[in-house]
């Protein structure tokens, strides 16, 4: 059976596959353009996201919007989601069993979207999506390809909140991402 976006949303809304379902306020499904060529995958919803039920609405979201704007994109052109759909209390790292329980939702989102490029935001997403030994400090901005999809990772926006000097590094990576995206779009037309 082929799930639709609505089906996935309903499954996530009712999900009790891990203990985060008992502490969350609202699950956070991915958002954006369901026909986007570019998919961003981050770690897990933060406190603001948990309150509002939408990804990247807090301070990390402000950084992300600035980055997109500086690189000539906006949220309407991308799809953004998280490895976990529920907020881990205290913003702790996701546990292995939480990542595994939640992974099918991300798979369905990816299957329906069929993005040309996936950008992981931060170490946790990069280690789950690209490679378990991914080193964000050394490998950010490096492109690889899997099943006709280009993969890369950049620092998480919250890393910029902790160290604003990282913004220029992330902007440089993201400009290259946008160039690559345009190239992929033009060569698939």
Q: In the complex, what is the shortest distance from the CB of residue 17 to ligand URA, in angstroms, rounded to a whole number?
A: 19
Measured from the CB atom, the residue of 116 and 156 that comes closer to ligand URA is 156
User: Cα separation of 17 and 139, whole Å?
Assistant: 33
Whether 87 and 96 have beta carbons less than 8 Å apart is answered as no
Half-sphere exposure of 64 (CA within 13 A, CB side): 25
Q: In the complex, what is the shortest distance from the CB of residue 64 to ligand URA, in angstroms, rounded to a whole number?
A: 8
Nearest 5°: the CA angle 59, 38, 84 is 55
Measured from the CB atom, the residue of 91 and 185 that comes closer to ligand URA is 91
* Residue in the shown chain whose Cβ atom is closest to ligand URA: 42
Q: In the complex, what is the shortest distance from the CB of residue 76 to ligand URA, in angstroms, rounded to a whole number?
A: 17
User: Cα separation of 170 and 158, whole Å?
Assistant: 12
Measured from the CB atom, the residue of 44 and 106 that comes closer to ligand URA is 44
Whether 40 and 119 have beta carbons less than 8 Å apart is answered as yes
What the block records as the tokens of 29 is: 């499904």
Measured from the CB atom, the residue of 55 and 115 that comes closer to ligand URA is 55
Measured from the CB atom, the residue of 125 and 150 that comes closer to ligand URA is 125
Using CB under 6 A, list all residues that contact ligand URA: 42-46, 49, 55-56, 60, 82
Whether 149 and 117 have beta carbons less than 8 Å apart is answered as yes
Q: In the complex, what is the shortest distance from the CB of residue 25 to ligand URA, in angstroms, rounded to a whole number?
A: 14
Q: In the complex, what is the shortest distance from the CB of residue 75 to ligand URA, in angstroms, rounded to a whole number?
A: 12
């Amino acid at each position: 059976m082929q799930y639709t976006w609505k089906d996935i949303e309903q499954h996530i809304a009712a999900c009790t596959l891990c203990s985060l379902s008992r502490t969350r306020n609202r699950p956070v499904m991915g958002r954006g353009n369901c026909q986007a060529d570019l998919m961003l995958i981050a770690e897990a919803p933060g406190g603001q996201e948990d309150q509002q039920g939408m990804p990247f609405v807090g301070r990390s979201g402000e950084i992300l919007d600035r980055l997109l704007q500086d690189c000539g994109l906006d949220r309407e052109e991308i799809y953004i989601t998280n490895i976990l759909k529920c907020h881990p209390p205290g913003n702790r790292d996701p546990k292995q069993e939480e990542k595994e329980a939640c992974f099918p939702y991300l798979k369905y989102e990816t299957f329906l979207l069929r993005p040309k490029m996936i950008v992981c935001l931060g170490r946790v997403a990069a280690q789950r999506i690209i490679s378990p030994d991914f080193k964000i400090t050394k490998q950010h901005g490096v492109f690889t390809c899997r099943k006709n999809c280009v993969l890369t990772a950049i620092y998480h926006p919250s890393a910029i909140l902790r160290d604003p000097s990282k913004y220029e590094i992330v902007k440089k990576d993201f400009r290259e991402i946008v160039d690559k995206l345009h190239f992929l779009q033009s060569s698939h037309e």
